[in-house]
Amino acid sequence: MAKSDVKAPAKEAKNVPDSDKAVKTVAKADMAIADKLVQLYRLQHIDSQIDRIRIQRGELPLEVQDLEDEVAGLETRLKKLQDELGEIEAQVSDRQNQIKDAKAQIKKYEAQQAKVRNNREYDSLTKEIEFQNLEIQLAEKRIKEAKAQIEAKKSVVDESQKLLEERRKDLELKKQELDDIVAETEKEEKALQKKSDAAAKSIEERLLSAYNRIRGNARNSLAVVAVERGSCGGCFNAIPPQRQLDIASHKKIIVCEHCGRILVDDYVVERVKSEA
């Protein structure tokens, strides 16, 4: 490859008619730069397709991660609700035992009453029995309250369980979708990477390293952009009319004053698009 941007390799001169020597000289230079720009824009075009695939694939693991987090959160919540339910149920069974004990006590006191010798002892036992009956009533009241709580909690547990099942299904589907897309796009990406490698090989080293450097620094990984409605297609800053003419004349490679991206005109864009 020629070192200077304005000199064309000899083989490219074949494109120029031999009849007009003046035109030939100019056209030689024109074709050289135009061809270099086409090579660069072609590489950008391929690499942008690879970028798109990677971005598209990149978002899916995030969606899976979000769902995994949500499922984990729901599982924790459900576990907490079930623990709370278990506590209330344990309280009910405690109260039921209390009632059993109180009833046993009452039986014992009643048996003692049959054997007492004076009223004072009898009255004292009567008071104990009354006290145990009050305890039973209180325990029954608490059981009733706890059962209402259990009912309410159970419906919340049911809802949470349903939601969890739905999210687990969503997660399954998303994972499957991810696997499918990864398999599908990996093939496509490999084919594009081959094209990219081939396209890069035809570009002279100095330009290729500039391309890689600009692409590495640029947002959206764009190193070569088209002039669109008088503005840079990379940073959207206006390009002065004289500079636009310079770009279209293909006499040298021109970069955007604002973002440093390599600029190409419609002629280059159309040539690359017509290849597809």
Which parts of this chain interact with Zn ion (CB under 5 A)? 232, 234-235, 256, 258-259
What are 132's two structure tokens?
């145990």
Q: Which residue has the tokens 């305890």?
A: 135
Rg of the Cα atoms in the chain: 42
Q: Are 192 and 50 in contact (CB under 8 A)?
A: yes
* Complex with Zn ion: residue 67 or 259, whichever CB lies closer: 259
CB of 71 to Zn ion, least distance (A): 45
Does residue 238 sit in helix, strand or coil? strand
Q: Which residue has the tokens 């325990």?
A: 139
* Complex with Zn ion: residue 112 or 221, whichever CB lies closer: 221
* Complex with Zn ion: residue 33 or 239, whichever CB lies closer: 239
CB of 225 to Zn ion, least distance (A): 7
Cα 245 to chain centroid distance, Å, stands at 43
* Complex with Zn ion: residue 48 or 124, whichever CB lies closer: 48
CB of 218 to Zn ion, least distance (A): 9
CB of 220 to Zn ion, least distance (A): 12
* Complex with Zn ion: residue 76 or 217, whichever CB lies closer: 217
CB of 223 to Zn ion, least distance (A): 11
Is residue 80 within a helix (H) or strand (E), and if so which, with residue range? helix 21-115
Question: Amino acid identity of 130?
Answer: E
Residue whose C-alpha is closest to residue 211's, from 167, 160, 176, 255: 255
* Complex with Zn ion: residue 32 or 239, whichever CB lies closer: 239
Q: Which residue has the tokens 């059981």?
A: 143
* Cα(99)–Cα(138) distance, integer angstroms: 9
Q: Are 255 and 210 in contact (CB under 8 A)?
A: no
CB of 214 to Zn ion, least distance (A): 10
Q: Are 260 and 13 in contact (CB under 8 A)?
A: no
DSSP letter at 257? T
* Complex with Zn ion: residue 64 or 235, whichever CB lies closer: 235
CB of 77 to Zn ion, least distance (A): 50
Q: Are 46 and 199 in contact (CB under 8 A)?
A: yes
